[in-house]
Amino acid sequence: GINAEYMGVTVVSKHSEDDCYLWESSAGGTFTVTKVEDDTLKRGTKITLFLKEDQQEFLEERKLKDLIKKHSEFIGFPISLQVQKTSEKEVTDDEAKKKKKKKKKKVLCVD
């Protein structure tokens, strides 16, 4: 598992029928690129961030949008950010018996 002291990024990219590649870095100035099998990604790029506890600001939607805009200024195709938000509601034992614990999810695509 990922511990609180780890910070890094993985990027999985695939173009149509081409091979799928994984790019990994742990913020130490080095990276690796590996050919991988990923049946969940048919086309596009999936980025996963591993952040230290004091870097949680990078999970904020506004911060991510600003970073994407800043670093993709000269890219000639649209970049979409899919955001999934969840919230939990505390329920009493009586309420829990009547209905399951509620989780609200919202998915937002930004071009």
pLDDT, tens only, 38-95: 877 888 888 887 888 788 888 788 888 888 888 888 888 777 777 777 666 777 777 6
Q: Name 12's bridge partners.
A: 22, 46
Answer yes or no: is pLDDT of 101 > 80: no
DSSP assignment of 21-66, as one string? EEEEE-SSS-EEEEEE--TT-SSEEEEEEE--GGGGGGGSHHHHHH
Predicted TM-score (pTM) of the model is 0.57
The residue ranking higher by pLDDT, 27 or 1, is 27
